[in-house]
Amino acid sequence: MKKKKFENRKSVSMNNTYIEGAGIVENQPITQTLEKNYMPYAMSVILSRALPQIDGFKPSHRKLLYTMYKMGLLNGKLTKSANIVGATMKLNPHGDSAIYETMVRLSRGYQALLHPYVESKGNFGRFYSKDMAYAASRYTEAKLAPICNELFNEIEQNAVDLVPNYDNTTTEPSLLPTKFPSILVNSNVGIAVSMASSICPFNLKEVCETTINLIKDENFDILETLQGPDFPGGGFLIKDDSVLNKIYNTGKGSIKIRSRYSFDKQNNCIDITEIPYTTTVEAIIEKIVDLIKQNKIKEISDIRDETDLNGLKLTIDLKRGTNPDKLMLKLFKYTPLEDSYACNFNILVNGSPKVMGIKEIIQEWKKFRYNCVKRRVKFKLDKKEKKLHLIKGLNKILLDIDKTIKIIRETEEESEVVPNLMIGFGIDKIQAEYVTEIKLRNLNREYILKRVYEKDELENDIKTLSDILKSDNKINSIICDELREIIKKYGQPRKTMFLYNVEQDETFNENEISDHPVNLFLTKDGYLKKILPNSLRLNSEQKLKENDKIVTHLNVTNNTDLLFFSDKCQVYKTNLSAFKDSKASSLGEYVPAKLNFENDEKIIGMIATKDYSGNILFFFRNGKLAKIPLSSYQTKTNRKKLAKAYSDISPVCKLFFEQTSSEYLIISNNKRYLIIDSALISIKSTRTSQGVNVIKLNKDCFVENVKTYKDGDIYNSHKFRTKNLPARGVTPKSDDLEYQLKL
């Protein structure tokens, strides 16, 4: 018997295998297994779970919000979250915890959205903290936020399709008829099978304005109105138009976000109040503590989380003498205090995932919204046409009420009343049914007149609605008007501000800069030499290019900031430590090449400083003088280049840096001399100030040269001085020129 059973096993088809304890197992190629078993799962995740659709919602979001709408929570009172979760399971059978987590993320209390869809009461946690967990659904309460009016007020007007739920017991909307591009307003992240989606949030006002402009002009430059992502957590976006253009055009790219901080000088600590949207307080603290343990950061004495009801606050206590800005630059590089947000605008459109740029997303939303408005108008039109049809039948009856009553009284059977009225007045069955339902009390003059007027009103409304359906421009105009109304109702200022021209690779020197003495030489052609005192003593003979000469010689220290002013109204900033030590026998480093000057851009002056105290004097060829504080050129972000460094109204003849007031000799091309004291010139706070007129010039004359004046440079110098500006200056006598002037 056993032998026979074994033989039966061997007779199993070649496509199957018998395994002891498991029975007959079918042999199947891996490709066939994937196609039959894995592909349906993958498609389900992509289409029904992970990726948002053009209305801005995933299925779980849409099911939850629609359930709350059907519960009357749009205008009603708050209700327990557990009630909402239970009711949502009629549409979403994935478990109560998943539904509640969805509601938490959409809530105002969680603070993860720019415009939350759920008003909340109780502990809903915070998106920026893992430790601040949300309370159970039985303790919290919720309702729909006012902005949900823009999602649901057309749901009953056939604006979108209603489809059966998972067990065919009720229906739910396939999409929500959003009146604004919510897909771009609130962030959406989803991981499907073999693909993902990550949509950063944008300011509602900017999105609506951009959409309006694109509807009017398809070639509109969206960077004009859509400045950049706007995150609920605030912080600073390091703005790079080339990066934004790539994201706007392709739907893919990465943007950098920095934390916002302030320095508390009294307590010698840094308070961080806004962090990147992509990280948490715990992740930041953990990374900083790790850096302290590795001895990579020595400036911090303590770090603690002081977040309370007033909002996020992370406090870093500093050791004495620590520069807070330089420390933050280190933390930006090594910790999530500066983080990247990877954009991947992958959206389901007509059942297919598609990665799109901003313009294409808005155009797809406009098509969707166009269809919603058209269906809404058609719904209203059909409703009014049906009512007009009834009113027309009623008007025929009201022309001869006595005849109507006579037909009804003389009809023997109730079922014959409607057919008799149809024959008697030439109306259809629907009109006759409507007439028979009118109460006897309504057969009065007032009621009859109202119905007559209503007929005229309905005919006008029908004409208006019909005209809208026939005109694309009118439908587009309705969409734009609704967007403008949404801006008025819900527009709010940006939370994420911008940082411009931040050099990511040179934000700080990782090793401490040695602050030893050096001699600094700058030549007319733009070569810079940094020479150690010992080296200069051994060889003081300077090697220069032909026709070049040294114009500036300073004794400074290695950790000094240098500002190079160019003839194109720009200033280039760097630290002297960025230049290599050189010798007198070398040409030095060519500054325009090292600092990436523009073509044909030349240096007109160099200033060395540590504390940015003192003032810069700009002497213009048109006779004006601008006195600008050096602190105007100090920036926290260590920007390498500043445009509009001074006024471009006239070329600069000379610039001087002074800590205290000095006298200057101005010489015009017609050889008039004027000595002025810089103390007479008031300081201008704006870098591009044109300054004040100090020397009066004749037509076609200009300032030819300016020199620092020292006592004894000119005999009888009182002749050339003045206290009243502007002054014409004095022309020296030709007979005395050789002896009078020691220039």
- pLDDT score of 739 more than 60: no
- Write down the catalytic residue from 139, 166, 500, 715: 139
Both tokens of 637, joined, read 């972000």
Task: Please state the rounded mean pLDDT for residues 226-230.
Answer: 94
The domain segmentation of the chain, as residue ranges, is 53-178, 260-336, 363-490, 517-740
For residue 194, how many other CB atoms are within 10 A of its CB? 8
Contacts of 240 (CB under 8 A, 6+ apart): none
Fold exhibited by the domain 363-490: Topoisomerase; domain 3 (1.10.268)
- pLDDT score of 249 more than 90: yes
Known active-site residue 572: no
Compute the distance between CA of residue 619 and CA of residue 656 in angstroms, rounded to an integer: 8
- pLDDT score of 736 more than 70: no
As its CATH architecture, domain 53-178 has Alpha-Beta Complex (3.90)
Q: Which CATH class is domain 260-336?
A: alpha beta
Contacts of 142 (CB under 8 A, 6+ apart): 68, 73, 78, 79, 81, 84, 103, 107, 118, 119, 120, 121
- pLDDT score of 503 more than 60: no
Lowest mean pLDDT across 7-21, 40-54, 319-333, 710-724? 7-21
Lowest mean pLDDT across 218-232, 428-442, 614-628? 428-442
Peptide bond into 181 cis (omega under 30): no
Q: What does pLDDT average to over the chain?
A: 87
Nearest to 66 by CA among 179, 201, 174, 169: 174
As its CATH architecture, domain 517-740 has 6 Propeller (2.120)
pTM: 0.67
DSSP for residue 727:
B
The three-state secondary structure class of 103 is: helix
Residue 545 CB burial class (10 angstroms; 0-12, 13-18, ≥19):
exposed
Amino acid letter for position 321:
G
Compute the distance between CA of residue 249 and CA of residue 227 in angstroms, rounded to an integer: 14
Compute the distance between CA of residue 64 and CA of residue 84 in angstroms, rounded to an integer: 8
Nearest to 303 by CA among 314, 287, 319, 312: 314
Domains 260-336 and 517-740 in one fold: no
| pLDDT-based confidence at residue 513 (cuts at 50, 70, 90) | low
The strand pair at 641-642 and 703-708 is best described as unpaired
Contacts of 104 (CB under 8 A, 6+ apart): 110, 124, 125, 134
